[in-house]
Structure 1
Amino acid sequence: MPQLNPTPWLAMLVFSWMVYMSILPIKVMAHSFVHKPTPKTAKEFKTQPWTWPW
């Protein structure tokens, strides 16, 4: 049964992962955003205790 021979399928799997891991990260890291996010200052919210009516 030739489909049980792992040699061609393993080589294809390893080669495709080598291509994906060498080309795709470069393209993903080269992506630039149109609008750069600006950091906002953190606001301290003043909370007051709530008295229960019972």
Structure 2
Amino acid sequence: MPQLNPNPWFFIMLLSWLTFSLMIQPKLLSFPHTNLPTNKSPMIDKITPWIWPWT
């Protein structure tokens, strides 16, 4: 069964990962980010107790 022979498929996988790592990934990482992270103060919610109508 040729599907179980790893020789051609391993080379194809290795070649595709090298292509992604060396060529495509640096191009994608060079794009500017549209939403830069900002320092925000944490929001403190005021918790009010629930008033039950039957108590």
State the TM-score, normalizing by the size of structure 2. Answer: 0.57
The alignment yields a C-alpha RMSD, in angstroms, of 2.4
Q: Any gaps of 5 or more consecutive residues in structure 1?
A: none
C-alpha distance in structure 1 between counterparts of 2:39 and 2:45, whole Å: 18
Q: Given the two structures, how large is their TM-score scaled by the length of structure 1?
A: 0.58
> What is the rounded CA distance, in whole Å, between the counterparts of 2:47 and 2:9 in structure 1?
63
Q: Counterparts of 1:11-22 in structure 2 under 5 Å?
A: 11-22=11-22
CA drift of 1:53 comes to 0.9
Equivalences, count: 52
- Structure 2: runs of 5 or more not aligned: none
Over the matched positions of the two proteins, sequence identity in percent amounts to: 33
